[in-house]
Structure 1
Amino acid sequence: MLYGTPLHSEHRMTAHGGLALFVRGVDGTTGQHRPAPRTPNRRQRRRAPREPERTAQLLVRGLAALILLGLVVMTAFFALGGDRRPDAEAATGPRTDPLASRSVDTAPLTIEEVFPDRREVRPPAARPYRITTTHTDTDCRTATTGALGALLVAHGCSQVVRGGTTAPYDGYEVTTGLFNLADEAGANQVDDQLRHLVETGDGGFATLPATRGTLPTSQVGWNATGHYLLYCVITRTDGKLVTSDDPVGERITAELVDSYLVTMLARRSGNTA
């Protein structure tokens, strides 16, 4: 029986599911023919890594340029600001406390300024005090006792403005006012020496009218603000002692000296905020 080779080429499926073409070689052997792999283009192989690298370099250079520009602008801004600040200070001059001395705060006090309502004193957030009498004098000694008058005169006291009041607390009467001294330093020196005078009985504040109360039965409070000495003298209508720890006396000092008179001076200096 003669056997012959088929006229058509044999083919079968490859392991990967594709067609594998079998060809017979010149020497009669058969083999699997696969297309030769394509060699990648040399230019494409070189450009692919270089284009992202070049873009990153451009971004870094741009960012560095922006940072440098920002530093230059900030340096110029602070340099100009430093040059202008001394000019502004020279134009306005150093700020002076309006109440530092009588050479700046030249206008004398008046009863109308200290007690604008001649009937009542109205401390902030407190009940009103009824005014019984008011007094002003260029001789500060008329409102003092003992050595305090001479101490005030030695520090240039030019006037005293005061008022006698009935407190909104049963049985308490108060004389309150302020002395106009030459400067803040003098007011602070009087403030420092006043406690010793009061504790030893060598000096103090007189009541208004002077026949009401005596120093041993009264409580006094004071405060130096600018070139002014603010004060109050608290007495009882029954003549009893107003002790240093009397809560009503402490409240009166806070309302009249620390609140009412301090607020009045703040308006005078323009510092009403």
Structure 2
Amino acid sequence: MPGDPHPRSAHRAIPEGGLAVLTRQALAGPALARQVLARQGLTRQAAPQHRQTRAAHTRSAHAHSHAARPQRPRRGPWRRPSREPQQAQRALQTLMSGMGAVIIVSIIGLSAFFIIADERRGLGDSAAAPAVSSAAIASREVDAEPLSQREVFPQPEIRLVAGTAPYQVTMTHIDTDCDVATTGELGALLAEHGCNQVVRAGLTAPFGGYQVTAGVFNLAEEAGATLVSSQAGPLVETGRGSFAAMGGLGSDPLAEPLAQVGWHQRGHYLLYCVIARPDGRLVEDDDPYAERITADLIGRYLDETIISSRAGQP
């Protein structure tokens, strides 16, 4: 600052080496300043030369700094990702979901078909039967009264609905040997589970003239009747045993090859029927008359009327 009453000294390195003493003279003139510089062998170009040197060093340092600084990698232009792979993946997921739904529906449909087919052939419980057997007919210990012809077939006809044509009862039969009402291996299976009675009748259906044998086997216990009912299916399907029509040869498994049979277990009883066409032709599985006869005689009559009375049900 001009006019500073306390001059201060400063030191600065010069290019040629040594130190230059700079004294601030507030009141000295230009001539005195030149003389001081002349005595020390300095010229006025020293200061600019030093400033140039410092500028050069500064530029060199900047250049070195730029050279040493790592360059950023260049990036290409940004592009929006393609949606085609995502759309293809969504389409595949939709297709797989649809195929899974079709497979599930097919499995359900096949299961329902086989269940209905088994019920129609007598391999399952009758739709008209109660879901749970009554304790009153769980075994012969609690249901000790034997069956009789009068109890099972008391009338010469069976009329299920008032005003409709009845089933005509042509003959009845009762026996303590259950084998007489069977063919093949079925008789031995019934005897193994304590069958001691069979009550049956020959009937003529009110439509189509179909000839029918319907009856009841009296087994020892409900568990045995259930087992016989389930094992009768493979015997019938393979021709190793079946239910016999009245008048047929009970020991011959081929006596009624054209008939259709149906059966159902209720308590310790096994209910059954054998259906034959009047012309002797094969009774097909989907025969509408055979289906109705099975539902009428096993479901509505023997089960809901005769056995339900034993169970104390109305």
TM bucket (normalised to shorter chain) is 0.5 to 0.7
Q: Counterparts in 2 of 1:90-129, with a 5 A limit?
A: 97-117=135-155, 119-124=156-161, 127-129=165-167
Task: Supply the AA of the counterpart residue of 1:220.
Answer: V
Tell me the TM-score normalized by structure 2: 0.54
2:307 maps to 1:265 = yes
Gaps of 5+ in 1: 1-95
Tell me the TM-score normalized by structure 1: 0.62
Moved over 6 A (4+): none
Partner of 1:5: none
Counterparts of 1:138 and 1:211, CA distance in 2: 17
Counterparts of 2:306 and 2:161, CA distance in 1: 11
Q: In the TM superposition, what whole-angstrom CA distance separates every residue of 1:71-124 from its partner, at most 9, and x where no partner exists?
A: xxxxxxxxxxxxxxxxxxxxxxxxx7101000000000000000111x112235
Are the equivalent residues in 1 in contact too, given 2:136–2:311 (CA < 8 A)?
yes
Identical pairs, percent: 56
Partner of 1:146: 184
Partner of 1:241: 282
Q: In the TM superposition, what whole-angstrom CA distance separates every residue of 1:42-85 from its partner, at most 9, and x where no partner exists?
A: xxxxxxxxxxxxxxxxxxxxxxxxxxxxxxxxxxxxxxxxxxxx
Pick the aligned partner of 1:208 from 234, 246, 254: 246
Gaps of 5+ in 2: 1-133
Are the equivalent residues in 1 in contact too, given 2:174–2:199 (CA < 8 A)?
yes
In terms of Rg, which structure is larger? 2
TM-superposed deviation, 1:171: 2.8
Partner of 2:34: none
Partner of 1:137: 175
> Residue 137 of structure 2 aligns to a residue in which SS?
coil
TM-superposed deviation, 1:210: 1.7
TM-superposed deviation, 1:142: 0.6
TM-superposed deviation, 1:268: 1.6
Are the equivalent residues in 2 in contact too, given 1:122–1:260 (CA < 8 A)?
no
Task: Supply the AA of the counterpart residue of 1:199.
Answer: E
Are the equivalent residues in 2 in contact too, given 1:164–1:209 (CA < 8 A)?
no
Are the equivalent residues in 2 in contact too, given 1:198–1:204 (CA < 8 A)?
yes
2:216 maps to 1:174 = no
Q: Counterparts in 2 of 1:9-158, with a 5 A limit?
A: 97-117=135-155, 119-124=156-161, 127-158=165-196
2:220 maps to 1:220 = no
Partner of 1:20: none
Q: In the TM superposition, what whole-angstrom CA distance separates every residue of 1:213-241 from its partner, at most 9, and x where no partner exists?
A: 94320010100000000000000111110
Per chain length, whose mean CA-contact separation is higher, i.e. which structure has more relative contact order (CA < 8 Å, sep 6+)? 2
> Residue 208 of structure 1 aligns to a residue in which SS?
coil
Are the equivalent residues in 1 in contact too, given 2:211–2:276 (CA < 8 A)?
yes
Partner of 2:84: none
Counterparts of 1:214 and 1:124, CA distance in 2: 33
2:248 maps to 1:197 = no
Residues paired across the two proteins, number: 176
